[in-house]
Structures are given as C-alpha cells and as structure tokens.
Amino acid sequence: MVGTALQRRLIWRTAEVVDLVDETPRVRSLVLAVPGWPGHQAGQHVDVRLTADDGYQTQRSYSIASPPSTDERLTLTIERLDDGEVSPYLAGELHAGDQVELRGPIGGYFVWAPAVGGPLLLVAGGSGLCPLMAMLRLRQAAGSTVPARLLYSSRSLDEVIYRDELNKLVAMENGLEVMLTLTRQQPPGWTGLHRRIDTDMLSAVAWPPAERPWTFICGPTPLVETAANALVNLGHEPARIKTERFGPTGG
C-alpha cells in the first residue's frame, strides 16, 4: 500500500520545454526540464499555471506520463480541445525553449508502484491513458513482472496515443497485455473490439475478482463511471478500483 506521505508545501516552478512529440494528430507530448524537481510517483499530476501579459491567470491539472526518474524531467501528454482555453496553447503554441509554470507532484491516491503488486488492470479512454502510461513505463523500467492488462478505448487507430511504444512493451512478453477498442472508426480487416467499454467487455478482459486486481480507470467521466460500476457489479472490491475523471475544466 502506498502510504500517506508527508510533504512539503508546493511551490510554483519554472519548467522549460525541451522537446515536443506529436503522438497523434490532436495529442502532443511536452518534455519539460524542471530544475529542482523532487521526483514523482506513477499516476501523480501537476498543476500548470498560465499567465497572460495583462496578468490574467488560469491553471489546469495534467497527469505526468513519464515514469519516476531522477533527471529533473517530466513529460505531459496533452490533447488539444478545439474550444479549450489552455490545451490549444500547451499542445499548439509552445515551442522548445518556452517556459511554463507548474507545481507538483500532486496526489497520493491514484498512484501505483511495483511494490503495490498486482495484477494490474488499467482502463483508459483517450488521453486518460497518460497516468496509466506512467505506471506501465515504471513497471517496465523497474523490471516488474506484475501481470498487467490495459483496456484502451480510442475513437480510431490513428488516435491511439503511444501506439508504437505499447506495441514494443507487449512484444517484450513480460506479462503485459493490451486490448484496444476502436469506437468510431476501424481499419479494414480489424477483428478487435469496436464498441464503447461495457460490462461484457470488462468481464472478458478483467481478472477474476478472486485475484484481487488493483484497477486504475482514467478518462472522460461517462467512461470512468461505466467501467467502475461494471467492475463493482462483477464483484470487484470498490476499494481496489481507483478512478480519475476528466471534468469539464474547459481544456
């Protein structure tokens, strides 16, 4: 069990964009160098604060997609929402060398580490994959063989974030399985899942409740609620199902 950790007061730090990676047509990763970054756990997030030249400020929370490390760097993966206030800026306007203010790491609830054990059931929709990717990357980096399954709902194959990396992780055959469901558009010959996540899908994908998996669900609120309710109805322990909803933050 990850305990309640003592912590210091959060301070705003100035991070520098050192790399930009286009993950899909609408999703971009920002690799940030954050001097003094104290490190983080897989699943934690940061607050990002933006300030316009007239002093107007707004802030949003973003999950950290990179695994824990000691190099004072972290990666945020951001989906551009067309009518959003912040995401078109972060995932569109920022260049390498630009600076952003952030504070963190934040959160001790939606976190996983190999010591927590498994099996691990990860359920994500869209950019809800980000904090779960930090867990899978940590699992890989730590050499953990905790059995892990990822059920990922995406509108189309082109919109699957980290597709190549997920394929590589699966190919290592160390206990990770990835199941995609493509809800809007499937490539020719697609034989995989192609509907929204539902109880039948979870009963086929999830471990039996008797194996007491740790479950992390992240994505849009309807997906999170559907998946969490389905798992509870299938007999999974509510206390082992952790959720993170994307609210109507305005992007």
Interface contacts to another protein, rule CB under 8 A: 2-7, 14, 50-60, 85, 89, 93, 98-101, 107-110, 239, 242-243, 247-250
CA distance 138 to 114: 8
Residue with the two structure tokens 């993966």: 77
Longest dimension (CA), the chain: 57
The backbone torsions φ and ψ at residue 101, rounded to the nearest 5 degrees and listed phi first, read -95, 135
- Give the pairing of strands 120-125 and 214-220: parallel
Q: Using the Cα atoms of residue 57, residue 59, residue 64 and residue 70 in order, give the sign of their dihedral.
A: positive
Report in angstroms how near the CB of residue 15 gets to another protein at its nearest: 11
In the bound state with another protein, the residue whose beta carbon lies nearer, of 110 and 162, is 110
Report in angstroms how near the CB of residue 46 gets to another protein at its nearest: 14
Report in angstroms how near the CB of residue 74 gets to another protein at its nearest: 18
Check: CB of residue 149 under 8 Å from CB of residue 179: yes
CA distance 16 to 178: 33
